[in-house]
Structure 1
Amino acid sequence: MQRFTHNVLAAAVALVGASLIQTAHAKSLTIYTALEDDEVTDYMGAAKAAMPDVEFHVLRLSTGDMAARLLAEIKNPRADVIWGFAVTNMLDPRIHGELMQYEPVAAKKLPAIYRGKDGTWFAATGYMAAFCVNTERLKSKNLPMPASWEDLTKPVYKGEIVMPNPAASGTGWLQIAAILQGLGNDKGWDLIKGLNQNIAQYTSSGSKPCKMARTGEYAIGASFAFPAMQSIEAGFPVKMVVPSDWVGYELEASGVVKTTKNPEDAKRFLDWTLSPQAAGLYKKYKEIVTIPGAEPSEQLIKAGLPTNVDKILYPIDFEKSAAERADVLKQWQQVTAR
């Protein structure tokens, strides 16, 4: 009995010692992301299970706020990884210049449009423009169902539309970028001016217009597809309308910050974001998954997502979008000033 007790105590001490050593050597990663809160929670639960030896610190910000923070920290970067960030913003030379050249093996299998030419970033997911239309409010106001951006400029919708601010929201940016690239500057700005006449409110979040529309505050929320599909699944009186013209989209880019003190784990995390496990989770939330073989879920198709979104997306020139961003936002502020 005494020998048995001694052995148990020795094993317990060894176990505690091993735990302390593991804790002492645990490494951490600071990750900046613009992904939505609910999906970040889901993804990180799986990532922590896959990398239990790493302590994760995740900061979630809107696209505009994240860009501002990264630029403010250029001289003293605090992030190890940029994850799920609008590629238009990632291509800002000041931010792009802070990325390490690292391309996971799985990233090499992505079509060229979904990864950087210099091997500094890749995009596993993306999102596309969509209108959240509250069918009950539409009926009570005797309004027609909109089908396009052109429709939203009609006076009948005045005060019934909510849209994201493109300076703060990646969703807001992709919407006006597609309109301007699709129509050209003159006609594009004319449409944006007409649209502005009907906008009740600009929001800082891309999902908020949909959430405001689904509760009946407004008839139409110019948003992106996932919150529309989420609202439908939750039972709100919402119809998702993919505009028939200039369907903008954005890619969610990821990369390693070159000043990271933990490059190996940063690379391991990016490898995980392209794993089959991650792809399975993306299907719950994303209308665009670039990983080969990742098909949309039945719930998304039932909510109105086209089976092949590639055929309806406007072919955004992301490098042009990034280069013109500052000038476009400056003009947008002038056009929408009230």
Structure 2
Amino acid sequence: MTLQRSLIASVVLSAASMTAAQATELTVYTAVESDDLQKYAERFNQAHPDIEIRWVRDSTGVITARLLAEKDNPQADMIWGLAATSLLVLEEEGMLERYAPAGIEKLDPKFVDVAYTRDGEDPAWVGMDAWVASICYNTIEGEKNGVPKPTSWNDLTQPEYEGHVIMPNPNSSGTGYLDVASWLQLWGEEQGWDYMDRLHDNISRYTHSGSAPCSLAATGETTVGVSFAFRGARLKSQGAPIELVFPEEGLGWDMEAAAIVAGTDKREAAQTLMDWAVSQDANELYNEGYAVVAYPGVAQPIDNYPSNIVERMIDADFQWAALNRKRVLDEWQRRYDSKSEE
């Protein structure tokens, strides 16, 4: 999706009782799934009808690139629902304003910027929920094509999967990048790149969206889609003929996080949204789709997720993933971009 189309796709949601003249308009860049944005905005507006959220939504890589391009002339007031690994990159560039939202002390420390938990500084970003890698397997297509249900990442490199696997491009998709970064952390760089070389032989194409491979598996356009659990669980609940696979080697993950863009002239409104983003009310909403959220004690089991999802998530090094992001993405593009969607 081009940057221009991204802007065209922006959504403006506001409380019905407010007019644009009365409300403070807050421009919020996000990679949150579009079918959840209205729900989040409506719940926020119940408590804060004086703030109108203008969402600008696209995939993680596109939003991250846009923010970096706008570094000297920021257009966003806030970032809400972007990968923590992207926010670490933006923090390194000095693009985020430090703010400790009300109630931050109640959150699981691993969802909070280490500057706050370790050094006592106001955090540059705060996590919301975790999204976890998974595989969507179409049972009908699998039987028809003689492609067995995988149980591991390594299974996807076997000959019977050739041409039947779709995964996201990590340059545009946060899900794609968490896959690549997690494989490199799981096995080390030499073995990680070797794995991706073998996987590439079986890939039919790389999509720009992290949810697209699972959606394509759900409609039978591919047998196997490397995606994330949230999308797969929702599609399966809606009746799609898919099984979710949580590979035995371990599950890569990243967290959706929120931050205030440095230099915004809507600071008070942005702080209000940050306060709400870490609240119990907001975390209960996140838990409608995500099994792991930042607020301890809130998460309830989610249909189609394994009960031990937290134990199966790898010990992800977000700092490493952020610091090595450009190098890893450049290398991935050099090796595999020939199968990427235009």
**Which residue identity lines up with residue 108 of structure 1 in the other structure?**
E
CA-to-aligned-CA distance 1:144-198 (integer Å, 9 cap, x gap): 2101110000011000000000110000000111110110011111100000000
What's 1:329 paired with?
A: 329
**Secondary structure of 2:231's partner?**
helix
Alignment partners' CA distance in 2, 1:291 and 1:225 = 19
Q: Does the 8 Å contact 2:97/2:260 carry over to 1?
A: yes
The counterpart of 1:45, out of the listed 42, 46, 61, is 42
The counterpart of 2:186, out of the listed 178, 182, 188, is 182
CA-to-aligned-CA distance 1:275-311 (integer Å, 9 cap, x gap): 22212211211132121112234xx23x2x1223221
Query: Is 1:78 aligned with 2:114?
Result: no
% identical aligned pairs: 38
**Secondary structure of 1:30's partner?**
strand
What's 1:292 paired with?
A: 296
What's 2:135 paired with?
A: 131
What's 1:100 paired with?
A: 97
What's 1:219 paired with?
A: 223
What's 1:32 paired with?
A: 29
Query: Is 1:207 aligned with 2:214?
Result: no
Matches within 5 A, 1:206-285: 206-285=210-289
Query: Is 1:62 aligned with 2:59?
Result: yes
**Which residue identity lines up with residue 196 of structure 2 in the other structure?**
I
Query: Is 1:112 aligned with 2:120?
Result: no
Query: Is 1:173 aligned with 2:177?
Result: yes
| Shift, 1:335, TM fit | 1.9
Alignment partners' CA distance in 2, 1:124 and 1:181 = 23
| Shift, 1:129, TM fit | 0.3
Q: Does the 8 Å contact 2:292/2:299 carry over to 1?
A: no
Relative distance call for 1:243 and 1:207 in structure 2 (3 A) is: same
What's 1:14 paired with?
A: none
| Shift, 1:112, TM fit | 2.5
CA-to-aligned-CA distance 1:100-120 (integer Å, 9 cap, x gap): 110113222223221112311
CA-to-aligned-CA distance 1:294-335 (integer Å, 9 cap, x gap): 2234xx23x2x1223221001110001111111111111122
Relative distance call for 1:337 and 1:281 in structure 2 (3 A) is: closer
**Secondary structure of 1:29's partner?**
strand
Q: Does the 8 Å contact 2:139/2:242 carry over to 1?
A: yes
**Secondary structure of 1:68's partner?**
helix
Q: Does the 8 Å contact 2:27/2:77 carry over to 1?
A: yes
Aligned Cα root-mean-square deviation (Å): 1.7
**Which residue identity lines up with residue 42 of structure 2 in the other structure?**
G
Q: Does the 8 Å contact 2:90/2:96 carry over to 1?
A: no
| Shift, 1:251, TM fit | 0.8
Q: Does the 8 Å contact 1:165/1:202 carry over to 2?
A: yes
Alignment partners' CA distance in 2, 1:181 and 1:187 = 10
Alignment partners' CA distance in 1, 2:149 and 2:111 = 34
Q: 115-124 or 315-324, which moves further after superposition?
A: 115-124
Relative distance call for 1:96 and 1:103 in structure 2 (3 A) is: farther
Show structure 1 runs of 5+ residues with no match: 1-18
| Pair member with larger Rg | 1
Relative distance call for 1:162 and 1:208 in structure 2 (3 A) is: same
**Secondary structure of 1:105's partner?**
coil
What's 1:122 paired with?
A: 126
Q: Does the 8 Å contact 2:258/2:277 carry over to 1?
A: no
What's 2:153 paired with?
A: 149
Alignment partners' CA distance in 2, 1:321 and 1:209 = 23
Relative distance call for 1:94 and 1:100 in structure 2 (3 A) is: closer
Tell me the TM-score normalised to structure 2 length: 0.88
Q: Does the 8 Å contact 1:296/1:307 carry over to 2?
A: no
CA-to-aligned-CA distance 1:8-37 (integer Å, 9 cap, x gap): xxxxxxxxxxx99x9755322111111110
Q: Does the 8 Å contact 1:131/1:220 carry over to 2?
A: yes
Relative distance call for 1:37 and 1:137 in structure 2 (3 A) is: same
